[in-house]
Amino acid sequence: MQRGWSVVQYLDFKRERDESTTSWVRADPVAALVERIAPTTYLVTLPGGSAHVVEYGKERGARVGGCDGKGFEFRDKEDSPCAHLCVLRKAEWSYNQFGDDAGYDVNGEPIVAHDTAEYVAPDATSTTPRRSGRSVRRALRTRRD
């Protein structure tokens, strides 16, 4: 089975919180450095750690994500988020509850789970070059001239 950051997983943050897992406790959105680099992609650095590329978004109302770090690769369960994902979840909660600094990334952008469906490319058929009437019209004009 393919594991790692290329897999975007449904995540159970509630269980992390209820069980006060290491990932959950380690995740401090105030101490962490967060930068949103794409609609659903963040760069997350925990104190003393290296920067990780983290996918975080929403799919049909449920939170999904993945991380390129070892913590996610070797997670306990398929739907266990790593500390970097927990940082984003806590930051989003902070933003919604208090709107304080913990809820924003380094560029002052709110940290929220964006719906991944919003960023799916439009149907490929719509990009087919349309044989519009323009060339026909131009041809007619040319003939009239």
Binding site for Zn ion (CB under 5 A): 52, 67, 69, 71-72, 82, 84
The sign of the torsion formed by the CA atoms of 97, 100, 101, 104 equals positive
- Quote the least distance from Cβ 44 to Zn ion, whole Å: 7
Torsions phi, psi for 104 (to 5 deg): -120, 150
Q: Which one, 46 or 131, has the nearer CB to Zn ion?
A: 46
- Quote the least distance from Cβ 74 to Zn ion, whole Å: 10
Q: Which one, 52 or 63, has the nearer CB to Zn ion?
A: 52
DSSP states of 81-141: --HHHHHHHHHHHHHHHT--GGGB-TTS-B---EEGGGGSPP-GGGGSPP--THHHHHHHH
Q: Which one, 70 or 138, has the nearer CB to Zn ion?
A: 70
- Quote the least distance from Cβ 101 to Zn ion, whole Å: 22
- Quote the least distance from Cβ 123 to Zn ion, whole Å: 33
Q: Which one, 58 or 75, has the nearer CB to Zn ion?
A: 75
Q: How many whole angstroms separate alpha carbon 7 and alpha carbon 1?
A: 10
